[in-house]
Structure 1
Amino acid sequence: MSAPMYAAFAANAFQTRLAYRNQAWSSFFGQLIQVFARIAIWMAVYAGVASVDGITLADMITYAILATAVMGVWDHALLMRDLDVAIKTGDVAVFLLKPLHYPLYLFAAHCGNLAFNTLAVVLPVTLIIGVTYGIQPPASAMHGASFLGFWALSFAIYFLLAMTCGLLAFWLMTAHSLEWFLTGIMALFSGSILPLWFFPPALAAVAQYLPFAWVAYYPTAVYLGKLEPAETGLILAIGLGWAAVLAAGVGLLWSRARHRIVVQGG
């Protein structure tokens, strides 16, 4: 199937989200409260302290905005619930009869969700928090441009991680427990709650090479200028490598899952 058809799937997903305005409002207020809460925590931590390990309160406020609001636009729960319903109802078998690649279809649909969440949640929340507390600009124009590249890569890696866990539901027959597993591991290792620079050294040495760090920590660290240019290029290359490995894993799992559908149907 051609690229314009997948673009149509993305546009359809965007339009579908427009129909559920109450869900959009709940997502907006949920993200807003979450960012306010995390900033309040960091303000309490930094009370009377100018900086911690060279990281200022202004850095952490910007980090909280980016890691919570901007990176919080990725909704793995929605993807995994879609897979869970499709597997339990057997609707996933219908996609075998269509001239499309199911994981690519889901990626296109969630690109539409990403566009909707960016407009309806991320931009308003960032504007409100930025006006209330202030948000630092990128460390430089290069860091700002690099952030956009890392931001796109973070979505790809997060999608592939969620897709990997979701496809395992073909063997477990439910994605619910896998959804909670991914939520927990992302909260710990992605840096969305606690930046890796505050991790114990031994744990940080491991976490900085896991794919989860590319979802929230590295994009935000690049934005704040906490990585040198040469280091930024290396980290980007490693992240692209993780994306390639995860994409290959999704392709393998899907090929095995398709055969499993046929066996169950027979």
Structure 2
Amino acid sequence: MRAAAYAHFTLNAIQNRLIYRGAVWSAAFGQLVFFFARIAIWISVYGAAAGSSVDGVTLPEMTTYAVLAGGVLYWDFQRLLHGVDNAIRTGDVAICLLKPLHYPAYLLANHLGHFIFDFLAVVVPITLVVGLTIGILPPASLFHGLAFLAFWPLSFMMLFGLATLMGLAAFWLMTAESLAWFLTAILTLLSGGLVPLWFFPGWLAAIAGHLPFAWIAYYPSAVYLGKLDPTQTLIYFGIGLLWLAVLYAGLIALWARARQRLIVQGG
């Protein structure tokens, strides 16, 4: 199947989400509560601090980080894992193998549609609400703003690659439920989505800062806030690209083996 044909899967995912408008409102409300809960935690932490900053990070910087790492950069990768899990359990994945398409590429096109919809219908409106009520800092500079725009798709592709690797592992385990929980736990700790790496102990920050998870939330947010100078920004962007190449080489190899391993259940 030609690459242009996968755009139809993206469009179809967006159209499907438009059907369930009630789910959109509930997701928006839940995300709004999530945003304010994260921000309230950091306001409480900084309120108990003696100074106006903690380890050189101000409260406005921290609230902006919370919005970026916890909402703007995040997307529901568990939808992907649950979809793969259901396809394996029901045997629908066999239908995909009979079609002239590449299953991981289909997953990418489909979940890009979900990401676009969630961003436009949920994230943007809620970010505007947070910005008008609490305030969000602009990028540290024009360079850092443009660099953030480069790190953003890298973040998406990194999380997609990790989630898809976990999903393909379900071809051996016959379930992706435990894998979804495992990946969520790892990302919560090591991606910087909940607590930025600059608050980690030195040894743990050094380890986490060189694992692929950090490019999902920490580095894009840190670049936006100007916590990395231009040289560091370019270096870590290059390292992120290397990690991405490694992940996708592993994904291609795992998919080649998963096709041979497939055991259809339930259909």
Number of the residue aligned with 2:36 = 36
CA positional deviation for 1:197? 0.1
Residue of structure 1 equivalent to 2:21:
21
SS, match of residue 143 in structure 1: helix
TM-score by length of 2: 0.96
CA-CA distance at 1:49 after TM superposition? 2.4
Q: What are the equivalent positions in structure 2 for 1:1-266 lying under 5 Å apart?
A: 1-47=1-47, 48-72=50-74, 74-261=75-262
Aligned-pair distance for 1:88?
A: 0.6
> How far, CA to CA, are the matches of 1:44 and 1:223 in structure 2?
23
Q: Which amino acid aligns with 2:120?
A: L
Post-superposition Cα deviations, 1:84-124, rounded to whole Å, max 9, x if no partner, equal 00001111011111111000010000111111011011101
| Structure 1 unaligned regions, length at least 5 | none
The structural deviation recorded for 1:27 is: 1.6
Partner secondary structure for residue 194 of structure 2: coil
- Which letter does structure 2 place at the counterpart of 1:130? G
Return the alpha-carbon distance in structure 2 between the equivalents of residues 75 and 171 of structure 1.
23
Superposed displacement of residue 26, structure 1: 1.9
Structure 2 unmatched runs, 5+: none
**Corresponding letter in the other structure for 1:51:** S
Answer whether contact 1:163 1:250 (CA < 8 A) is retained: yes
Amino acid at match of 1:78: R
For residues 73 and 213 of structure 2, the distance between their equivalents in structure 1, rounded to whole angstroms, comes to 12
Q: CA RMSD in A?
A: 1.4
Amino acid at match of 2:55: D
TM-score by length of 1: 0.97
- Structure 2 CA distance for aligned equivalents of residues 174 and 22 of structure 1: 29
Deviation, structure 1 residue 55? 0.3
C-alpha displacement of 1:35: 1.1
Identity of aligned residues (%): 59
Displaced runs of 4 or more, over 4 A:
262-265
One-letter amino acid matched to 2:11 = A
Contact kept, 8 Å, 2:191 with 2:213, in 1: the verdict is yes
Q: Amino acid of the residue matched to residue 243 of structure 2?
A: W
**Partners of 1:251 and 1:22 in 2: CA distance:** 37
Greater Cα shift, 48-57 or 224-233: 48-57
